[in-house]
């Protein structure tokens, strides 16, 4: 599995999204066509030849609850713009005051729903921004409501995610490779022609079509986690179209799979040690009385579950809590420190009563899996489809074994788990069109980069890296825990970003919060 996702940033919003989900439809008795004026058509940029009909389209907005929904027409393949097309789901949550225009948002993934994210507008941006902007979200191609990619059945995905993520010998390594290859083959067989065209470059081009269809000469954007990769890719392709951009929790565009996996292994190790300290401070930590004891206890627990999976999962559709599920459950808690007490409780009942229901529930939350079986979205499938088109991988098991051993020296808890995670990309039916590369986005507007010092999934060093590479950017550092920073817990971060969006005021250089 991969963990380049900011989905856990929405933990506190799940109930709100559940209530709002019914408002995201363009059909049914609650839906009526609105009579909004169409913006003037815009010509495509020079690097988008043959895309005139997409740039000149007029969006037909329909009311959906208190919001507006529409569909954006884009080509399946931008190299063949006269060929097949798909429609992307788009939602606009109107500004609470006089609108300055649209702020397009993406929560990460790849595979996170921008529609669902926008529905949480009151929580994902500050009050001044909410008042000043229409919050616009779209489900990227292959995701959610936008021609979703499906590779395997729910039960097959269960088996894939439950699989041993840290092979210990040659036989287990070959079994892991067979599992990865089987998933890639299923995608090749079942996902359809869109599978070859869901790269981040494709999504970035869609985002410029959306900008034009919204009638904006500049794109104002908030991207978190993988959404920063999407944002920086957009800035590289269309630097002159960059408006007020915030990239929070950075995935640098030039990283190889090996570099990305190693960086995340170190990030999760750092975050897990922070959780371990918190657990020790409670005086009731079931895995030990010091940070090192807790970390070793967690590794020992993973090994024990690997050898003897736990039969009590609290869910009849999951026969065993395997190391794969257990690791996913623990990883889930690293995204937000508010989840640490829940992890403490789940580990306590697991160790003392061999009850894996708490950890399985957390794994379900990570994967958007429903208790009893089935998934609420396709993120755990499309995440591979996008990542594997963005970055190639090696099929050499010896290389992965070497990478895992080296990673375990700096990240003994998460090194092997992360270094093996990208192996499906070695067998992917479609290869990246170009290798990962640095992006400077020369000529762009100011891009605000945000990094959290103990972020597990997007290590702080990555935000520093991108800030140095972009031609026109500034860095906000948040000294804290959890994944991403804006609107999570710190007014210093929030106030500066709000002022940038609303007034155009740049944050102070090298701001630390």
Active-site residue numbers?
Answer: 225, 455, 483
Closest CA to 59 of 37, 27, 84: 37
Which 3 state secondary structure label does DSSP give 317? coil
Q: What is the DSSP string of 372-412?
A: TS-BSSSHHHHHHHHHHHHS-----HHHHHHHHHHHHHH-T
Query: Burial level of 121, CB count in 10 A (0-12/13-18/19+)?
Result: buried
DSSP alpha helices (H): ranges in 28-113? 52-55
Longest dimension (CA), the chain: 66
The whole-angstrom separation of Cα 227 and Cα 106 is 5
Cβ-based neighbour number of residue 502 at 10 Å: 16
Helices and strands (H, E) in the chain, number of each type: 19, 11
Are 409 and 28 in contact, with CB atoms under 8 Å apart?
Answer: no
Which residue has 């088996």 as its token pair? 159
Instruction: Report d(CA 235, CA 445) in Å as an integer.
Output: 9
Angle between helices 323-334 and 357-367 (to 10 degrees): 70
Dihedral, CA atoms, 190, 191, 196, 199, nearest 10 degrees? -150
Q: Which segments within 195-319 are labelled E, that is strand?
A: 219-224, 242-248
The C-alpha atoms of residue 513 and residue 443 are separated, in whole angstroms, by: 28
Element (H, E) at 104: strand 102-106
The whole-angstrom distance between residue 157's C-alpha and the CA centroid of its chain comes to 18
- Among 232, 158, 225, 231, smallest CA distance to 10 is for 225
């Amino acid at each position: 599995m991969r963990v380049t996702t900011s989905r856990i940033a929405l933990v506190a919003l799940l109930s709100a999204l559940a209530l709002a989900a019914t408002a995201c439809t363009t059909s049914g008795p609650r839906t009526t066509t609105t009579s909004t004026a169409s913006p003037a058509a815009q010509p495509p940029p020079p690097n988008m030849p043959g895309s005139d009909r997409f740039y000149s389209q007029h969006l037909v907005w329909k009311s959906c609850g208190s919001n507006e929904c529409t569909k954006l027409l884009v080509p399946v393949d931008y190299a063949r713009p006269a060929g097949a097309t798909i429609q992307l789901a788009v939602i606009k949550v109107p500004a609470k005051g006089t609108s300055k225009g649209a702020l397009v948002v993406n929560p990460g993934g790849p595979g996170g729903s921008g529609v669902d994210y926008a529905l949480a507008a009151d929580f994902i941006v500050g009050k001044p921004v909410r008042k000043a902007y229409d919050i616009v979200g779209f489900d990227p191609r292959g995701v959610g409501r936008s021609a979703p990619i499906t590779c395997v059945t729910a039960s097959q995905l269960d088996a894939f995610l439950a699989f041993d993520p840290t092979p210990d010998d040659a036989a287990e390594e070959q079994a892991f490779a067979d599992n990865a290859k089987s998933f890639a083959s299923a995608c090749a067989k079942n996902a359809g022609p869109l599978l070859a065209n869901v790269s981040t470059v494709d999504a970035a081009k869609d985002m410029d079509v959306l900008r034009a269809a919204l009638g904006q000469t500049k794109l104002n954007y908030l991207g978190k986690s993988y959404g920063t990769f999407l944002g920086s890719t957009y800035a590289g392709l269309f630097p002159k179209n960059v408006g007020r951009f915030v990239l929070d929790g950075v995935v640098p565009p030039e990283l190889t799979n090996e570099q990305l996996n190693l960086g995340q292994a170190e990030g999760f190790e750092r975050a897990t040690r922070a959780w371990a300290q918190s657990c020790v401070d409670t005086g009731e930590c079931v895995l030990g009385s010091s940070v090192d004891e807790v970390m070793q206890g967690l590794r020992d627990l993973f090994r024990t579950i690997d050898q003897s999976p736990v039969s009590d999962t609290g869910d009849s559709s999951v026969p065993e809590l395997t190391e794969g599920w257990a690791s996913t459950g623990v990883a889930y808690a690293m995204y937000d420190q508010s989840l640490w007490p829940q992890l403490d409780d789940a580990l306590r009942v697991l160790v003392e009563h061999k009850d894996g229901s708490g950890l399985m529930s957390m794994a379900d939350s990570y994967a958007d899996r429903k208790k009893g079986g089935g998934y609420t979205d396709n993120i755990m499938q499309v995440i591979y489809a996008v990542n594997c088109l963005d970055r190639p991988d090696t099929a050499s098991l010896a290389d992965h074994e070497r990478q895992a051993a080296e990673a375990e020296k700096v990240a003994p808890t998460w090194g092997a788990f992360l270094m093996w995670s990208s192996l499906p990309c070695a067998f992917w039916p479609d290869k990246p069109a170009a290798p990962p590369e640095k992006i400077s986005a020369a000529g762009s507007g100011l891009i605000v980069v945000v990094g959290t010092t103990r972020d597990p999934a997007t290590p702080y060093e990555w935000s520093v890296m991108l800030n140095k590479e972009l031609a026109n950017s500034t860095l906000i550092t948040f000294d804290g825990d959890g994944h991403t920073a804006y609107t999570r817990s710190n007014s210093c971060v929030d106030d500066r970003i709000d002022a940038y969006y609303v007034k155009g005021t740049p944050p102070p250089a090298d701001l630390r919060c």
